[in-house]
Structure 1
Amino acid sequence: MPSNIRALVVDDERYAREELIFLLSRHPNVEIVGEADSGDTAIMQAIRLQPDVVFLDVEMPKMNGIEVAAVLKELKTPPQIVFATAYPQFAADAFRVNAIDYLLKPYEEDQLTQTLHRIKVKETVETANDSLHQLGKLAMEKDGEIVYIPINSILYVCREGSVTRITTKKEVYEVKLTLKELEKRLLPFSFYRIHKSYLVNLLHVSRLSPWFNGAYQLEIEGIPEKLSVSRNYVKGLRATLEH
């Protein structure tokens, strides 16, 4: 894990940028790699500088922070996003684009310290996942700690609203990662998407039954509920299971 958090600060108001840069500079593990005063400049800077985190103002002319975050999410190596705004009503939109945190202006040092802690924990989890990949474990944050989940113990993963749930034989974990992000991490293992909101571990599939309109239901060992398989995924799923 890098010793410093490399940060890009984006705000169309110069004094707001300077205030946040000053507060961040008081933390020895933060390196300010750049700043931007508009959405399009922020995107160009993020591509060029590859920051770990972008502190992003929500309300900006032409291209607002939510729109910028949606673009940054599609980068090959997307930075973490922390939104900064004086208006709390934007919180729901912020977390739809998977922001790690949401800072309200005027900034409070305690809140900023907590945000930096979350960023560091997330980086630790991602680094752990890189090193644990060959061991067949997935690192997850839970209650401020890092837990290591044996990948073969995962039964299925589902996305409900803004929450992703990982169901194992013993426990259910709620994580901020999107289903797409988890699918990428689990791709080398025995996981298959059966629905826009579900990934299943094929090692634990016990039965596939016709339902209606070309859809199927999937039964997983150890759980009573049946999972719906969208008809768009049925053919590929059967081919994989029956190979």
Structure 2
Amino acid sequence: MKQIDVLVVDDERYAREELVHLLGDFKHIRVVGEAESGEDAIVKSLTLKPDIVFLDIEMPKMNGMEAAKVLQELKKAPLIIFATAYPQFAADAFRLEALDYLLKPYEEEQLQETISRVEKRLFTADEQTIVAKGKLSIETEGEIHYLNPADILYLSREDKFTKIFTADKEYHVRATLKDLEARLAGFEFFRIHKSYVVNLSYVKMLTPWFNGAYQLKLEGKEEALAVSRNYVKALRSKLEL
């Protein structure tokens, strides 16, 4: 899967730094530049030619909405993702055919969903379906194990470790959940919560819980896993014919 070039635009330096930091967790995302105004966003888009512009709305002089209208007229027009603390601008944002609308402070789950939309828009079906080979190498207790991804039921992040569960074993590794998720991208794994990534092949049952969240059961495991409401729709889309 090719790199996705991103320009981050916000008049507040700390807001830019936060988003750049969060985007650093995504393997295929490359932040090629930052801009602190609408005018600066247009100039840098002409030179850097980003695929995506994360665009703040409330900025002095030229605001994000005005900048987006100009950006959409460029020969290589980037996709626009508005990032703002003000939900009242959502309707106007989608009238401009923005790909997504992120609210500050950023939530990991919401950003994950946004990046998934980006990949679906930019990549063809063939590019999205990676032919994965080999085994997942993990280091634990001084030993290197090679796991067949098809044998992994799910992964869970707890404190400073990520747990990898197979039908009969449990491995504790220091690699982050995002890193392992990226390495397993060519297989049938799906994030259902900020702390869980599951192998869709083992999903057995999905049960409504509360506040739009669900609980998920996997074959070979008694305990139910929490499914955040932000992931429910995408999960059902993945599972259902």
Length-normalised TM-score, structure 1: 0.51
Could you say what secondary structure the match of 2:11 adopts? coil
* Aligned counterparts of 2:61 and 2:92: Cα–Cα separation in 1: 18
* Aligned counterparts of 1:21 and 1:78: Cα–Cα separation in 2: 21
Aligned partner of 1:52 in structure 2 is: 51
C-alpha RMSD over aligned residues: 1.6
Aligned partner of 2:37 in structure 1 is: 38
* Aligned counterparts of 1:62 and 1:93: Cα–Cα separation in 2: 18
Could you say what secondary structure the match of 1:7 adopts? strand
Could you say what secondary structure the match of 1:99 adopts? coil
State the Cα deviation string for residues 190-227 of structure 1 (Å, max 9, x = none): xxxxxxxxxxxxxxxxxxxxxxxxxxxxxxxxxxxxxx
Aligned partner of 1:77 in structure 2 is: 76
Q: What residue identity is the alignment partner of 2:30?
A: E
Length-normalised TM-score, structure 2: 0.51
Q: What residue identity is the alignment partner of 2:87?
A: P
* Aligned counterparts of 1:32 and 1:124: Cα–Cα separation in 2: 18
* Aligned counterparts of 1:54 and 1:99: Cα–Cα separation in 2: 10
**1:28 Cα shift?**
1.2
Q: How does 1:82-121 map to 2 (within 5 A)?
A: 82-121=81-120
Q: What residue identity is the alignment partner of 1:75?
A: L
Q: What residue identity is the alignment partner of 1:114?
A: E
* Aligned counterparts of 1:33 and 1:110: Cα–Cα separation in 2: 23
Could you say what secondary structure the match of 1:55 adopts? strand
- Cα distance change, pair 33–127 in 1 and its aligned pair in 2 (3 A): farther
Q: What residue identity is the alignment partner of 2:47?
A: R
**1:96 Cα shift?**
1.2
Aligned partner of 1:186 in structure 2 is: none
* Aligned counterparts of 1:7 and 1:57: Cα–Cα separation in 2: 14
Could you say what secondary structure the match of 1:21 adopts? helix
Gapped runs of 5+ residues in structure 1? 129-243
Aligned partner of 1:68 in structure 2 is: 67
Could you say what secondary structure the match of 1:94 adopts? helix
Q: Give the fraction of aligned pairs with identical amino acids, expressed as a percent.
A: 59
Gapped runs of 5+ residues in structure 2? 128-241
**1:126 Cα shift?**
9.6
Higher RCO by CA contacts (8 Å cutoff, separation 6 or greater) = 2
Report how many aligned residue pairs link the two structures: 127
Q: What residue identity is the alignment partner of 2:92?
A: D
**1:22 Cα shift?**
0.2
**1:84 Cα shift?**
0.3
- Cα distance change, pair 124–21 in 1 and its aligned pair in 2 (3 A): same
Q: What residue identity is the alignment partner of 1:88?
A: P
* Aligned counterparts of 1:127 and 1:103: Cα–Cα separation in 2: 28
* Aligned counterparts of 2:126 and 2:52: Cα–Cα separation in 1: 15
